[in-house]
Structure 1
Amino acid sequence: MKGAVLKGDPESSNRSFKKKKESTKLCISPAKILFRDPIGTELPPSLQKFRWDVDKVERKLQEKIQEKTLIAGNFVYQQAYRLLEGTRGEGIDFPSFREQLRMKFGIILDDSELHLLFDKYDEDGNGTIDLHEFIRRVLPPDYNYGRQWFEISQLENEEKVARLRNEARQEFLACQGETTSEQLANMGAASNWTIETLKRQIQAKVVQKTPSGEDQYRRAFKMLRSGRDQGIRMNGLQFNLKTKFGIYASDEQMRQLFSL
């Protein structure tokens, strides 16, 4: 009929509106997720006293390169080189050297320390470590396609694993009260340490076993005290050093430690 207005079905219009609304929801961008840097850019204050010298950093870098490099193949040098190369084909400049040491090897140094190491490797002083400089200066002299260096590294690693396994076993036995006085006398050289050496060993063990963060000191305190004591008592500390850290301090050493 002329002039008539067609009325649509209200239910169908509602369904179409819901479909549009649902399709609109699907197009909404998800909320941004921010990831924290897992490595960090500087050492926590608790580790500042345990900084490595350049020689130890070099040794650790060589070990890490060996661990991450395949032993077989004709391009073993190139594989090792690319570990420190930020952008492939552009060589190892200072920014990539600093960033790859941090991200791939977990080695964090001050810029002054990094420059000493980088300048040692950059023989011609052009600001880039090329492949030949890398082979001569960064890789160990006995690298030899990884075989000799790898064998030495493997032997050292096996000895370290065996030592740690034995320490863990002795700590477990000590916790169970199954170690004899003869075994305790033969474990470690703690009885011959000076008080300063004993302090450094305790500090190193505490740092090793407590993650860095705002509550690091609280965690360390709980680890060294016994039960719910308000403070750290001599007998409790001596027992915890033995069972948690494998440090068998004598009664005399403990008295000297508490008299400081």
Structure 2
Amino acid sequence: MRERKDYLQAEKYLREILFGRKPMKAALNELEILINESIDNDTRAFREIWNNSGQWLYAPSREDTLLNVAEALRNSGGDFIRVYTYLIKNGSKRIRAKSLSQLAIFFSRLSDIERVEGLVTSLEKLKPGGDEILRARAWLYYLKGKKKLAYSGITRISHPVNDDIDLLWRVKEGAPSVQGFIKNYKFMSRATGEPLRYTEIGDLLADKGMKKKAAKYFNLALKVNPDDVRAMFMLARITSSTALMQSLSEKKGLYGSMAKVMIKEQEIKKHILEM
């Protein structure tokens, strides 16, 4: 059944073994494989299998799978806190550090400074070194409004993940220079495979008066997505392109309305000059 990716049917057969008597190691191993494969291939099936039979996998020897489960539950709205809490109590140093760091990020997003401080303190007691402590501290600095320290911490991470890019943009004001920020952002983007945010880069450069460089990124944004009205609007403003502004004015929404107003303003100015 598993080979045919019929995960739910495979789990039904396994459940008969698991609940019929003390589970054999072979059955637990098969359940573990089923969980990991369904995480990668069928989120709905994973959630159902985990809810039905996941309790059998709570064992320190299966900590890597439990870490995968926690991440999958975090992404799909399940009870990941319970899994991370178990790993913090029973996992190896590496897994405990990872779990503490992930919970610190979660509670940072909820602006729960007190909870994050407690998690960072527990993490520091482990003395794990490496990315996990840098990541957790950076989020705590961000919560406390210390963007320079947060930026310094997050840019020292060796193996970035998507959460790091999220934080990097939140603390961009802490960067010594916009060019330095863009360099660090591009490094993280390459490392994670996340597409570059061309429009947002263009906005940063435009705010600093670097219009020529900003125009380059707005053009790149439009190549990726020709319907990016923000990029179109900013490029029209920077280059004073009447044709681009006219094209934008035909679109619905805020930027289309703004383009119409700006075209009207230009017509009025032109009329005044001709009087």
| TM bin (shorter chain) | under 0.3
Over alpha carbons, which structure has the higher Rg?
1
TM-score, normalised via structure 2 length: 0.23
TM-score, normalised via structure 1 length: 0.24
Q: Which structure exhibits the higher relative contact order, with contacts defined as CA atoms closer than 8 Å and separated by 6 or more residues? A: 1
